[in-house]
Amino acid sequence: MARSKGERGWPAPPEPLPVAVVDNHTHLDSVVTWRADCWHRDDDGTAADGPAADLAAHLERAASVGVTRMVQVGCDYESIAWTDRVVQDHPQLLGAVAIHPNEAVRHAGIVEVAPDGLEPEEPHEVGLADAIDVVERAARDNPRIRAIGETGLDHFRAGPAGRAVQREAFRAHIALAKELGLALQIHDRDAHDEVVDVLLADGAPDRTVFHCFSGDASLARLAVSHGWYLSFAGPVSFGANDELRAALREVPPSQLLVETDAPYLTVHPFRGRPNAPYLLPGTVRTVAEVTGRPLEDVCAALAATSEAVYGTW
């Protein structure tokens, strides 16, 4: 049975948080390409007709519920330029830039079937070295870009040749973050051990963040022991994710962050509907419930940790 328009639309804003927090990983360039009143695609796969959601409106809606600051992540060739520009125009935003591991495969010209079983996408015309040069220029020249990311390994979306390329791109991004003194945001999908191996072999930047942490309690304890930061998104609220909630309990407030990863990974009970920074309070409240800490204390700690990683806005 098809879902109704109401079930596809943007969820209503949640109750405001008692203390303002930071969404430390969001893709606003993707959020604003969806119309604000209906999240769906037409039968031919194209976006539904209608005006794109307005960035200023999204920022205002987020602020109204206590999400006053965000880290906008540009992790493909086109979104890097968008991020570079928009963080200079909006004081609520800082930026992170990188070539996503799956994009690195395409920039390297690799065409192979991965474990996801999907038809491989066409390679990009721009080579990988040139793409990483774009990341470096944006990060070096714009003081409002405070992180390199998301970068890392995605073994679900890459075969053997692609994984080798991802590893080299990951190492290049690590080196760049260290050279520029920036934080590092990691994408880790089905590659926990390999990501840790690279970080330990090359030396992780001082401020290393596991974006949308997906590991278990053991990985959380390892990350905490190395001083790395763990960022939790909507999946921590999903009913089946008891292991992820166990991992959350291993993280001290000084190493804990939250994010939306919008427009993806919408918090329960809105899974499958559009995500945006204004829905972050649902994840924050889940963190408070799982850790047994007062909501106000959780919010204050999240804000402080965000500034420890990215600096002031």
Instruction: Name the residue among 231, 132, 226, 209 with its Cα closest to residue 173.
Output: 132
Tens digit of each residue's pLDDT (9 = 90 or more) over 37-90: 444 433 443 333 333 458 999 999 999 999 999 999 999 999 999 999 999 999
Tens digit of each residue's pLDDT (9 = 90 or more) over 206-224: 999 999 999 999 999 999 9
| Alpha carbon of residue 217 to chain centroid | 20
Please name the residue ranges forming H helices in 142-225. 160-180, 192-202, 217-225
| Strand, coil or helix: 120 | coil
pLDDT of residue 160: 96
| Contacts of 275 by beta carbon, 8 Å cutoff, 6+ apart | 31, 234, 260, 261, 262, 263, 264, 265, 266, 267
Supply 150's token pair.
């998301």
pLDDT of residue 54: 87
| Alpha carbon of residue 160 to chain centroid | 25
For the chain, list residues with pLDDT below 50. Answer: 1-6, 36-52
The Cα–Cα gap between 222 and 211 comes to 15
- What is the three-state SS of 10-46? CCCCCCCCCCCEEEEEECHHHHCCCCCCCCCECCCCC
What angle, 0 to 180 degrees and rounded to 10, lies between the N-to-C axes of helices 160-180 and 192-202?
40
pLDDT of residue 61: 95
